[in-house]
A = this chain, B = another copy of it.
């Protein structure tokens, strides 16, 4: 065995007796039967007496070395293959669309050596994998980051906003941003504020399955995002992801109203307290929302890419210790978004710490951990107490969007009054007017 990643002790010793390496298709003979699969890496917490292979079914099995009588190689490790599209002049009548890659599953592939997923696919590789893209738009592309999305934060949002603005101001008719799904909603909100008034569509897109897997949603999502960036009549910041479990319909969500509501389903993203903006099916865009700004090409986009890092999102829970608020204040926090219960409540014993923070100039706003619905703090006297202390109620704004907005507001205002005013103004569709009781059904 030439590569030994993760195997230690007895399992390593056994593997080294055979001409196999990580990623090879191997056959393991045991006293109970023969197993065939890809030899997988093991990780730091692994024991030393199992060999792990991935069966054709996709499941990993660990086989005790005490049961193993023979190991042989069936086929050598092979990575995914990419086809480079033929060189051809870009059709001059196609709109110019920029694809900016930041990482995530959509720009990743299964690493056959480790069995894990790595952010590794370049935009060129994406276009090679999805040749349809070159028929939709004159694609310009740039790899800005190669990050797991849980590591994306405000520094990246700022750099991304500047890059998008540069591309828009240089003539891109739309921009696609490939992004890991975990914090895609946060980044979509961040661009919605930093690129307020964006004259063309900017479409963030991710994938819940690696783009080289048969069940991947990467290609359909990417095609829909590119169609939207190239052709949509509307402008602003959006997210394109599978609408449901069918293969063909992609939802276009408003960047400030979208949330990842499932860890793994392809239709994990949903518009909350808001309808989708549009659907894309077979390359056609059907607009379903009437209040989206029109595309206004030729208008210069002035980015406002500053975000205040000294901002926190705190979820209230029973036995929540309000000292955490005092501690954040002592560390120089400038704003806190609370995720209260129901209509916007926290236990009354938190009021002292909240009041001290507000009196010290900290911006404190209220959202609901219910996710759906809207904060209404005038119904109960406890809510009214919080209002009179100075807590800002944020209506139907998502907690995550509220947190990003507060970072942006604090980064772009000088006075507390301006901050409070901006928090309560509808800047980028983050507030929706009260709607009837119909709601898109989702998740369970």
Contact = CB atoms under 8 A, between A and B. Distances in A.
Interface of A: 43-45, 114, 116-118, 148-154, 157, 181-183, 186-187, 245, 260-265, 268, 270-274, 307, 309, 311-321, 323-324, 327-328, 331, 339-349, 368, 370-376, 378-382, 384-385, 387-388, 400, 403-404, 407, 437, 439-444
A386 to B, nearest CB: 10
B341 A149 contact: yes
A437 to B, nearest CB: 6
Nearest to A375: B263
A313 B324 contact: no
B387 A260 contact: no
6 cross-chain pairs, A with B, having the tightest CB-CB distances, nearest first: A441-B441, A263-B373, A182-B341, A44-B388, A439-B444, A182-B342
Nearest to A439: B444
B245 A437 contact: yes
Given A324-B324, A348-B151, A339 B368 contact: no
Given A318-B154, A373-B262, A272 B403 contact: no
Contacts of A311: 319
22 contacts: A43-B388, A116-B380, A118-B381, A150-B342, A150-B345, A182-B342, A183-B318, A183-B341, A186-B317, A260-B341, A263-B342, A264-B374, A265-B372, A265-B437, A272-B444, A317-B400, A324-B328, A439-B442, A439-B443, A439-B444, A441-B444, A442-B442
Nearest to A443: B372
A150 B377 CA distance: 13
A78 B374 CA distance: 31
> Counting chain B CB atoms within 10 Å of each CB, which of A182, A183, A309 scores highest?
A182
A264 B343 contact: yes
B150 A347 contact: yes
Contacts of A316: 150
A51 to B, nearest CB: 17
Nearest to A440: B444
A309 to B, nearest CB: 5
A92 B173 CA distance: 78
Contacts of A341: 149-150, 182-183, 260
- Residue with the highest number of chain B CB atoms closer than 10 Å, among A273, A341, A439: A341
A388 B183 contact: no
A373 B153 CA distance: 24
Given A43-B384, A186-B317, A375-B263, A370 B154 contact: no
Contacts of A265: 372-373, 437
B260 A342 contact: yes
Contact of A343 (B44, B263, B339, B380): B263
A229 to B, nearest CB: 24
Given A150-B341, A318-B153, A323-B331, A117 B379 contact: yes
B270 A444 contact: yes
Given A347-B151, A444-B270, A388 B437 contact: no
Given A381-B116, A441-B442, A345 B148 contact: yes
A319 B309 contact: yes
A399 B25 CA distance: 39
Contacts of A272: 443-444
A330 to B, nearest CB: 10
B388 A264 contact: no
A320 B309 CA distance: 9
A116 B384 contact: yes
A351 to B, nearest CB: 11
A382 B339 CA distance: 27
A403 B371 CA distance: 18
Contacts of A400: 317
